[in-house]
Amino acid sequence: MLVARLGYLARHPTGTAVAKAPLLITTLSICASLQAGAQLQQWLVRTLSGEVRVMDAGSGTPFLGPVIAGFGLGGSEDVNLMTDTNGELLFCTAVEGDDKVHVRTASMLPMPNGAGLNGNESSMTSAIVPRPCHDGQYYIVHHDAISKKHLYSVVDMALNGGAGDVTQKNVPISADLGEGLAVSHQLHSGCRWMFCFKVYDNDYILMRSLVGAAGIGEPEPIDTITGSEDAELASMLKLSPSNEWLALSMPNIAFPDSADVAIWPLDLQTGTVGDARFVPLTDDPVVGIEFSPGNGYLYFAGNSNWPDMDFGRLNLGNDQVEIIDGAIGASIVHMETASNGRLYVAANNLISSLAEVQNPDAADLASLVYDRYAVFVWAAGCKSGLPNSIEGEPPGTTQTPSYIDFEVELLPNCGGHLFTSDACLASSWEWQFGDGTISTLDRPIHHYDVGTFDVTLNIEACGETLSLTQPALVTVTGLQPVAHISHPDSVCQRAIVPFTNTSEQCSEYSWRFGNGAYSAQEVPPYAYPAPGEYDLTFVAIEGCITDSIHSHITVLPSALASFRTNSDPCDEQLRLINTSIDGGTWYWEFGDGDTTHVRDPWHTYTSMDAFTITLISDRGTMCADTAQQTLYAGYGIIPVAWFIPNAFTPNGDGINDELRIKGPEVCASPVMSIFDKWGEPVWEGDATSGWDGTVNGTPVPDGPYVYVLNGKFSRTHGYIMLLR
């Protein structure tokens, strides 16, 4: 964090807000301890030019090692390192002049794939966390203060001949995040929480991410601080060594009045916080904070490039503030407790040094044993870096999980029982609910009948199989409904299904018909609109207790039979148009004894009369349907065939003396033409008036003649015998 970028306004002793010019300073960063509950033994110290030195704070007064050649040049803040449980260095990181994080081995050689991790030269945020279920692998959490993103990369110490290398780079966690972060102790489940924050509309939004075997999860909000005048992305987050408290520094907070820090009680296992308390500490803008090893005090320092910044502490028991040094120096951002139990903070005033508090949990200032010049850190100056260890706990090696537990919650509004596994490293789940049913979901919801049930969870975690049975975990009391329904195996499409419901001890019902439709009636009048195979579910309900039945029903296709005609009554043939819906086969009765199976038939009536036409779809099946119409042939309703004789006898006896064509009375008579057997025209006239067998009054010879009828819609021809 460069003061120039943050643009702080520090409160001057006179009460006037004074803008302060930027000051370039160095960074000191810390990582890895020897034993649980201890702080960090090895630190990294940066000079103004970016040079990095290792500092050993294992016991007594720390001492600095030589400059690590070529490492970190161009950066100004964040450095980081990781040690094993014996305090031996594994690898280290630093932001260099390219604004990227570089990773080096314990021998201070660049890892082959160790360059190009997104960061920022003035970012104060990083952390190194063991990767659960992957021995020798570590997450490096790094922050880009320009794009406001948290990302992580993975180091595998099995690579590069055991010196380690980066296997994954720049995996995004989330954007729009502030610089501060803190990583918790390992939970019973084997995972950890990473706490961070974002600024939105001048609100601080406290967030958490789960650090698991597969990666670091997306942050989710757990609390919000409203009322900030200018919420600052370069605020600091700290966990107490016991992980009971979480603190956030707020350099520009306006509400509550003059508050400099928010402190939350933390439930580590659930990752949730209680109500925050807001405490004013000093007239200076506070960024750097640190809990004492015994969790009794919160130390703080002002941040500005004026040298009169306060260094003090807050008694967490009574909220009393004590100022230890009223002019410790400029741009004080961080402070840390070393493995020797002493607290160190950069003092940038007359000379550059690390100030030391020998007894951070002392009950009074006189017993602190404060020394501003405890460690000389070159004339170029220095300052402590972001804590990059897990507060109060060494990273060590992630243990193979042997923990399994789960919880059950009765959901409101008859939502069932929700089961949640606390084994966050599980890669597969098998829940046995004690009633013969099983689920492989990670958070299943189950609905029980009346009874008492043992529940068993089997998981696979980090290659191990773990099992837990909680006997008599769930008890359900009340009336047990008994579901019982019946229906035919097959029904017709669009026909109401004859359901029967003889269920007992229930007052509510739920029908799911297998096609998206449902009903809450006792016996629903339901008809399936489409044919097919359907799985039906019926649930008998009494309160929150249910009993279910699953059955299968076949819906057969069924036509809605209908037809119409658009024939002209003077046509020779009747055209029938089938307008049925669905259906597969057709059977027609025309009312004159003729039948057909054609879908859209033509029919010729030979007499004028009333005829009932019948159409049956799917004849002979249970889903047959019938449509009927009565039509009148030859009366302007439907056509009837013209009557054409095959002979006539024009002998003057008054019987069949003329050739006449008979048809519907409403239709115009066709023109009839007569030709002899050689094709010569003989006569032409109205077919209904008839031909008397003469031409100009002279009888024609007996024999065959050809007639041609030219009607309104058709042309017909044939032979006629003339006999006298």
Chain centre distance of CA 276: 31
Say how far residue 216 (Cα) sits from the centre of its chain: 18
If pLDDT is split at 50, 70 and 90, which confidence band does 583 have?
A: confident
Please write the tens of the pLDDT for every residue from 121-160. 777 778 888 899 898 999 999 998 888 999 999 999 999 9
Tell me if 287 sits within 8 A of 335, measured CB to CB: no
Q: Would you list the DSSP string of 214-265?
A: S-BPPPEEEEEE---SS--TT--EEE-TTSSEEEEE-TT--SSTT--EEEEE
- The pLDDT value recorded for residue 637 is 60
Which tokens in the block code for residue 32? 């890895």
Residue 400 pLDDT > 50: yes
**CATH 2.60.40.10 domain range(s) in the chain:** 406-476, 485-556, 563-632
Structure token pair of residue 259: 């508050």
What string of H, E and C letters represents the secondary structure of 495-543?
A: CECCCEECCECCCEEEEECCCCCEECCCCCCCECCCCEEEEEEEEEEEC
Whole-number Å distance between alpha carbons of 617 and 636: 28
* CATH among 3.30.499.10, 2.60.40.10, 1.10.10.2160, 3.30.9.10 for 406-476: 2.60.40.10
State the chain's maximal CA–CA distance in angstroms.
Answer: 159
Closest CA to 595 of 620, 614, 579, 623: 614
Indicate the CATH number of 563-632 among 3.40.50.620, 3.30.310.50, 2.40.50.100, 2.60.40.10.
Answer: 2.60.40.10
Is the peptide bond preceding residue 112 cis, with omega within 30 degrees of 0? no
> Architecture of 647-722 per CATH?
Sandwich (2.60)
- State the average pLDDT for the chain: 84
Select the CATH number that applies to the domain covering 3-11+30-387 from these four: 2.115.10.20, 2.130.10.10, 1.25.40.10, 2.30.30.30: 2.130.10.10
197 contacts 248 by C-beta, under 8 angstroms: yes
Give counts: helices (H), strands (E), the chain. 1, 60
Question: Three-state secondary structure along 137-187?
Answer: EEEEEEEECCCCEEEEEEEECCCHHHCCEEEEEEEEEEECEEEEEEECCCC
Tens of pLDDT along 461-485?
Answer: 988 899 999 999 999 999 999 999 9
Position with higher pLDDT, 233 vs 230 = 233
Q: Is the dihedral of CA 347, 348, 349, 351 positive or negative?
A: positive
Contact indicator for 658, 650 with CB cutoff of 8 Å: yes
- Beta-carbon contacts of 162 under 8 Å, excluding residues fewer than 6 positions away, are none
If one looks up domain 485-556 in CATH, what number appears?
Answer: 2.60.40.10
Sheet (strand 137-144) strand order: 126-130, 137-144, 149-156, 165-175
* Helix (H/G/I), strand (E/B), else coil: 5: helix
Euclidean distance between CA atoms 278 and 276, whole angstroms: 6
pLDDT value for 638:
66
Q: CA-CA distance, 627 to 612, in Å (whole number)?
A: 10
**Residue ranges matching CATH 2.130.10.10 in the chain:** 3-11+30-387
Fill in the amino acid letter for 615. L
The answer to pTM > 0.75 is no
Mean pLDDT within 68-81: 78
Which of 67-76, 289-298, 581-590, 600-609 comes out lowest in average pLDDT? 67-76
Higher pLDDT, 241 or 473: 473
Residue 699 DSSP SS3: strand
Mean pLDDT across the stretch 307-335? 89
Q: Using CA atoms, how far apart are residues 135 and 385, in angstroms rounded to an integer?
A: 27
CA–CA separation, 209 and 212 (whole Å): 9
Highest mean pLDDT among 402-406, 439-443, 690-694 belongs to 439-443
* pLDDT at residue 351, rounded to an integer: 56
Look at residue 438 and give its three-state secondary structure: strand
